[in-house]
Amino acid sequence: MKGFRFAGIRAGIKKKDEKDLGLIYCDSPAVAAALFTRNKVVAAPVILGKEKIRMGLCQAVLVNSGNANCFTGERGVEDAKTCSKMVSKSLNISDDHVLVSSTGVIGAYLPMEKFEFGVTEIVQHLSENHIDDFSDAILTTDTCRKIVIENGSIKNKQFSVIGIAKGSGMIRPDMATMLAFIITDVKILYEDLKASLIDVNEKTFNRITVDGDTSTNDTLLTLANGSSDAFVNDSESKIIFQNVLEKVCMQLSKMIVRDGEGATKLVQITVKGAQTKEDAFKASEAIAHSNLVKTAIYGEDPNWGRITAAAGRSGAYVVTEKMDLFFDDQPLVLKGNWLGPDAEKKIARLMKKNEIFITLDLNLGQETDSFWFCDFSENYVKINAEYRS
């Protein structure tokens, strides 16, 4: 994309021989909007980012993996500020327009000597073609890159949206995901970019879960540099842009869940027929977060009792005798009655697929909501038991 450059290098922050320092650079300050974790324990880069993003402009983003710079007190904030100043000095840009982001182990101070070398080195690698290097540098327990590119047109003027994310575990976004960076070449006002980001985030990143944990470092950042002729300046253009943004964020969201630590299956739970929107949200969220549901799916066991029980304890208004439960289009429960072993055998065969769609119809109203989640396997426990070793 015109006007954006990327880099990713190994600075020695991680113990493993992997890239661990990434940089996004825009040739001029871009309109910027961000959302951050709602966790009360927040990392130093989030504290700093909340302050800087109020200006609505950003020209460079430095991201490290291998160290979260969280629970590091005043020293952690000062280290984050120092990293920002290193970037601004190396690129000869305003420090006000530099954001930093971190992901990794909580409680360790940043190895600042690694950053002194790394920042000096990484600016030499900036290129329009190094987006893969940047993506690799921000990963932790991820098993793959997460990059999505979509295009759109506003009044016959072409524009692009590119999304880059990392996330595999500690995923219960309470605003966004672990780390996600969205860049676009549209011309757009800060207020419109922020409004679109909030709305899209609620439909995508806030509707996924891997393990029910909200990170201390969650950051969703969008940069718009206006290098195309596409201008988001009326209701029609706002809808067009937001639809493309949502398409990018939804694909990234599903990639994160599919790459969940130890995951073998991607699942969508849809709760329909709820009396209120809140009820639809509560029931779908409770099912998606249920460890018993997630382990049953891993075992390819159509344990419908776990699904309906999760809805029942969610706080949503439900009536057992009205519930219908489907896997894909195959019914397993109708009006609160199990359809028997033959229906269960059909569902068990469906559950061998890598992607499963479950629908719980409460038959009480018109409201619907859904979550994407994954199963729990033995590997999730193994990965997290060994995370700091």
**Mean pLDDT, residues 140-164 taken together:** 96
HSE toward the beta carbon, residue 115, CA cutoff 13 A: 24
Q: Place 389 in a pLDDT band, splitting at 50, 70 and 90.
A: low
DSSP string, 307-372: HHHHHHTTTS---GGG-EEEETTEEEEETTEE--HHHHHHHHHHTTSSEEEEEEE--SSSEEEEEE
Q: What pLDDT, on the 0 to 100 scale, is given for residue 92?
A: 98
User: Do 359 and 325 form a contact (C-beta atoms < 8 A)?
Assistant: yes
User: Do 319 and 364 form a contact (C-beta atoms < 8 A)?
Assistant: yes
DSSP 124: G
Q: What pLDDT, on the 0 to 100 scale, is given for residue 213?
A: 83
Q: Which two tokens stand for residue 30?
A: 């871009």
Backbone angles phi, psi at 89, to 5 degrees: -70, -45
Q: What pLDDT, on the 0 to 100 scale, is given for residue 15?
A: 86
Quote the crossing angle between the two packed helices 304-312 and 277-289, to the nearest 10°.
130
- Portion of the chain with pLDDT greater than 70, in percent: 98
User: Do 48 and 84 form a contact (C-beta atoms < 8 A)?
Assistant: yes
| Domains recognised in the chain with CATH numbers | 4-258 (3.60.70.12), 266-385 (3.10.20.340)
**Mean pLDDT, residues 254-272 taken together:** 94
Work out the number of other CB atoms within 10 angstroms of the CB of residue 75: 13
Q: Place 48 in a pLDDT band, splitting at 50, 70 and 90.
A: very high
Q: Which of 37, 103, 177, 209 is catalytic?
A: 177
Higher pLDDT, 160 or 386: 160
* Mean pLDDT (the chain, rounded): 95
Q: What pLDDT, on the 0 to 100 scale, is given for residue 112?
A: 98
**Mean pLDDT, residues 284-289 taken together:** 97
| Lowest-pLDDT range of 47-51, 252-256, 257-261, 283-287 | 257-261
Please determine, for residue 177, whether its predicted confidence score (pLDDT) is greater than 60.
no
Q: What pLDDT, on the 0 to 100 scale, is given for residue 311?
A: 98
What is the rounded CA–CA span in Å between residue 39 and residue 151?
34
What is the rounded CA–CA span in Å between residue 107 and residue 16?
19
Whether residue 264 lies in the annotated active site: no
Please determine, for residue 50, whether its predicted confidence score (pLDDT) is greater than 90.
yes
Q: Which residues, at least 6 apart from 198, have a Cβ–Cβ distance to it below 8 Å?
A: 35
Alpha-carbon torsion, ordered 292, 294, 295, 300, to 10 deg: 120
The dihedral region occupied by 268, where left means phi > 0, alpha psi between -120 and 50, and beta the remainder, is beta
Q: Which residues, at least 6 apart from 3, have a Cβ–Cβ distance to it below 8 Å?
A: 26, 27, 28, 185, 225, 227
**Within the chain, what is the greatest distance between any pair of CA atoms?**
70
**pLDDT tens-digit readout, 79-138:** 999 999 999 999 999 999 999 999 999 999 999 999 999 999 999 999 999 999 999 999
Higher pLDDT, 173 or 49: 49
Whole-structure pTM over 0.85, yes or no? yes
